[in-house]
Structure 1
């Protein structure tokens, strides 16, 4: 299963980019366009491999580079409490 959005996070689309608000610590997080695409994909329930495949194809980018970037985003979002881990990593 993919990571899921934390129920403590409220998010709003602002001109194609997302602004996240963490209700727990009352901090805002701004996502750039690519991070916003990753976030929306996670919100739709897509797993990391599917997100990587889609982004690599849409942006004509090397899959290995995209995979590293997506995994780095997910790792940081998990550390920040923006995402919850999948069932396999609990």
Structure 2
């Protein structure tokens, strides 16, 4: 299922990193460079595999590490309500 940004999240870029605010639970989250890349890649809904391929093309990282780190980030972002699973059209 495609992933997308939660449209309720307020986001701002500060010094190359994204700062997110979830007004539903008043939680802030600062994303590092890779997390910011994932957030930016999700400007439109995307499958996890698309994210992994794009990140591997951007960063010098092996496939296993990229998959593990991306899956961990996505799981945490879903848990915190920063990302959602997009509903098919």
Shift of residue 42, structure 1, vs aligned partner: 1.5
Deviations 1:19-77 (A, max 9, x none): 00111112211000001101111223332112111211221210111011111111111
Residues 21-40 of structure 1 aligned to structure 2 (within 5 Å): 21-40=21-40
- Moved >3 Å (runs of 4+): none
Distance 2:23 2:39 in 1: 17
Instruction: State the secondary structure of the residue aligned to 1:19.
Output: strand
Listed as ranges, the gaps of 5+ residues in structure 1 are none
Q: Is the contact made by 2:4 and 2:46 (CA closer than 8 Å) also made in structure 1? A: no
Pick the structure with more helix per residue. Answer: 1
Deviates more, 1:28-37 or 1:1-10: 1-10
Instruction: State the secondary structure of the residue aligned to 1:87.
Output: coil
Number of residue pairs matched by the alignment: 88
Per the normalisation by structure 1, the TM-score is: 0.86
Residues 1-90 of structure 1 aligned to structure 2 (within 5 Å): 1-87=1-87
Q: Is the contact made by 1:20 and 1:29 (CA closer than 8 Å) also made in structure 2? A: yes
Instruction: State the secondary structure of the residue aligned to 2:40.
Output: helix
How well do the aligned residues superpose, as a CA RMSD in angstroms?
A: 1.6
